[in-house]
Amino acid sequence: MNIYEFTVKDIHENPVSLRDYQGRVLLIVNTATGCGLTPQYEGLEKLYKKYHDQGFEILDFPCNQFLNQAPGTGEEIASFCQLKYGVSFRTFGKVEVNGDKADPLYVYLKQQAPADVENAEAGAFRQILVKLAQTVAGSGIKWNFTKFLIDRQGRVVTRFAPTVKPEELEAAIVKLLPQEKKCEKAGER
């Protein structure tokens, strides 16, 4: 199973198959417009603009579960993000990420990556320790702006804590992007 098996809702409540994103590197983020971390939209947009043409997508899922920090309709949230932060990546319908009403996509994401990586550059041993600790403590989403990185085959690579800034994700994203462009440039020299 991979994320392509899931269907989500757009801001108008229309179904969207994640198969539409097959073959792309994805960053799936639960967001909020009234959170102290909301300025991360700016960094997310920079990553999106820089790597979109190389096969990178950001899927924005507003979530109102954390202190009601994502009020309004999906359309209002998308409009706010576009006007305030110039967001051009896709905003989907609001979801719940924890509890009995958690969106099936988030249930799957949490199963595949039950632990937050606090530092995008953390070594493999530290990441294993963090995952073990969180497996014991539970896999719930802790706050807005938890980020899941997905490879081109639809597999969850890792989960980043809300405090990991978008710019800290760049190296992890670049590793998953195609190497063909680098080879072409090397051949031109």
Active site residues: 35
8 A C-beta contact, residue 169 and residue 147: yes
Which tokens hold the place of 20? Answer: 């539409």
Residue 186: burial class (beta carbons within 10 Å; 0-12, 13-18, 19+): exposed
Q: Which residues make beta-bridge pairs with 59?
A: 28, 90
Residue 127: burial class (beta carbons within 10 Å; 0-12, 13-18, 19+): middle
From 119, 131, 158, select the one nearest 26 (Cα to Cα). Answer: 158
